[in-house]
Amino acid sequence: HFFPAQLSGGMKKRAGLARALALDPELIFFDEPSAGLDPVTAAGLDELILKLRNVFQMTIVVVTHELASVFAIADYVIMLDMGEVIFSGTLEELKASEHPRVRMFLERRPEQEAYSPDDYFKVIAGD
């Protein structure tokens, strides 16, 4: 038996999931489920999400920036940029997409516009 403050991040996420499942939902949303988790715990959470989908035959919507999770659990992907849908399709279609922002995201490339370290500091400092 633990108090909430004694639970790890992964344990807190699993406890929240158990609360949601107690309602026997047909649809469940995850918003950045692996945020703050180490890669091993995040992979375990991905496996748990897949098991839930398969055992309970439920629809699961996951919002994430974690490509490893996307490729591990997604059947269908919708990608947003500045609030606009820039991609919608299967994982294979995502991998084959030629949309520049999709490619940048998949390849983890920065914007073409490069900033000097001084410029970054000014942005961070609010100058």
Q: What is the pLDDT of residues 37-63, one digit of tens each?
A: 899 989 998 999 999 899 989 999 999
Q: Is the pLDDT of residue 93 over 80?
A: yes
| Cα 23–Cα 27–Cα 69 angle in degrees, nearest 5 | 115
Choose between 94 and 45: higher pLDDT.
94
Cα→Cα distances 46→14, 39, 83, 88, Å: 12, 10, 25, 21
The yes-or-no verdict on residue 89 having pLDDT over 70 is: yes
Residue % of the chain over a pLDDT of 90: 50
Q: What is the dihedral sign for C-alpha 83, 28, 19, 15?
A: negative
CATH numbers and ranges of domains, the chain: 4-125 (3.40.50.300)
pLDDT at residue 100, rounded to an integer: 93
pLDDT category at 77 given cuts 50, 70, 90 is: very high
